[in-house]
Structure 1
Amino acid sequence: MSSGDYFLHESAYVDEPVSIGAGTKIWHFAHVLSGTTIGKNCVLGQNVMIGPNVTVGDGCKIQNNVALYRGVVLADDVFCGPSCVFTNVLTPRAHVERKDEFAETHVGYGTTIGANATIVCGNALGAYCMIAAGAVVTHDVPEYALMAGVPARRIGWVSRSGDRLGPDLICPRTGEVYVESNELLALASD
């Protein structure tokens, strides 16, 4: 089924009002709740739930079984691996209503989040960082950081193209040169 300039599988649900960009594909059993904005050329896999009031940038790829709750903001070109998890409160209890405590989680441009990783709410993920499969992010992540473990710790750096950087901080794919200063990384040309 096609709706406007985006593709919507017949088993998917889209509540009103929402904004969905041209070229976006929403697959089997996905649910987009009201107040959500999804950019252009995104892909929402099977059983993805987004909203309410979530913002997804252009070019994002959200794999199967991912839920993005109120407070999550994805910049452009974010990749969310299968079954990765975004929490929405720090101390949940079934018998205590905490919807007014949902913490914002900002995911920077070009970030990659691996399968089954958990992003604890209230943390910011810097542009181009890479979160390893199964990692649990419990604090802010710097740009270009390669994070792994429980809790996640920085184990290296990655380039804009997602390649792990060696001690010379030169991307093996593109030849881009990076510089490190005070536990932060930046392109040398910036």
Structure 2
Amino acid sequence: MSELSASLDAPFIHPLADVQSPHIGAGTRVWQFVVVLAGARIGRGGNVCSHCFIENDVRIGDRVTVKSGVQLWDGLTVEDDVFIGPNVTFSNDRHPRSGHRDFVREDTVIERGASIGAGAVILPGVRIGAGAMVGAGAVVTRDVRAGLTVVGNPARTLPCSPQPEGT
């Protein structure tokens, strides 16, 4: 393998990022002021914009975009081709208390090809289905079925949202 092809396969990690994980896929870009803890796994061809935090037990697929100001907490799985807009908020504890380390973690899954608009809030334990769209500022309190578009607080399906087959 030539030196040029080796560099094309390597992830780009900005010198001002703190990436402790060795599991960053080829072609992924991690920008300045991003923190990635040692146990996190990030796939190939992704883009993690500045000022993001990725905790240990986070799995991110291939070609995922994470825009600025997003924190990804333990128990989050993000499948391939997902878009996470700026300042999207995730949580993994339904009843947070200061100093409480023995909370019941609720895992969240964002399925392949879903998009989450800027400033949306995703409560713990939900599943956002493949190809679903979460509107900017929506508060997702329950599962979103594949292919649907949800907006508002709490998030509700748009009346014109296409219904997946078999529903």
Q: TM-score, normalised by structure 1?
A: 0.79
Which structure would you say has the larger RCO, counting Cα contacts within 8 Å and 6 or more residues apart?
2
Provide the residue aligned with 2:71 in structure 1: 67
Q: Residue 140 and residue 22 in structure 1: after superposition, are their counterparts in 2 closer, same or farther (change >3 A)?
A: same
In 2, Cα distance between equivalents of 1:9 and 1:181: 46
In structure 1, list runs of 5 or more residues that go unmatched.
159-164, 166-177, 183-190
- Structure with higher Rg: it is 1
Provide the residue aligned with 2:4 in structure 1: none
What are the superposed Cα offsets for residues 79-119 of structure 1, whole Å, 9 maximum, x if unpaired?
A: 00000000110011114334x42211000000000000000
Paired AA for residue 6 in structure 1:
P
Provide the residue aligned with 1:123 in structure 2: 126
In 2, Cα distance between equivalents of 1:11 and 1:41: 20
- Indicate the structure with greater strand content: 1
Provide the residue aligned with 1:48 in structure 2: 52
Selected match of 1:111 from 111, 114, 124: 114
Corresponding position: 1:31 with 2:35: yes
Selected match of 1:80 from 79, 84, 94: 84
Q: 1:146·1:156 contact (CA, 8 Å) conserved in 2? A: no
Query: Which runs of at least 4 in structure 1 moved beyond 6 Å after TM superposition?
Result: none
1:128 CA displacement = 0.3
Q: Which moved more, 1:87-96 or 1:131-140?
A: 87-96
Selected match of 1:152 from 133, 138, 155: 155
Match runs of 1:8-19 below 5 Å? 8-16=13-21, 18-19=22-23
In 2, Cα distance between equivalents of 1:136 and 1:154: 12
Q: Residue 25 and residue 157 in structure 1: after superposition, are their counterparts in 2 closer, same or farther (change >3 A)?
A: farther
Paired AA for residue 69 in structure 1:
W
Q: TM-score, normalised by structure 2?
A: 0.90
Provide the residue aligned with 1:140 in structure 2: 143
1:74 CA displacement = 0.2
In 1, Cα distance between equivalents of 2:85 and 2:164: 28
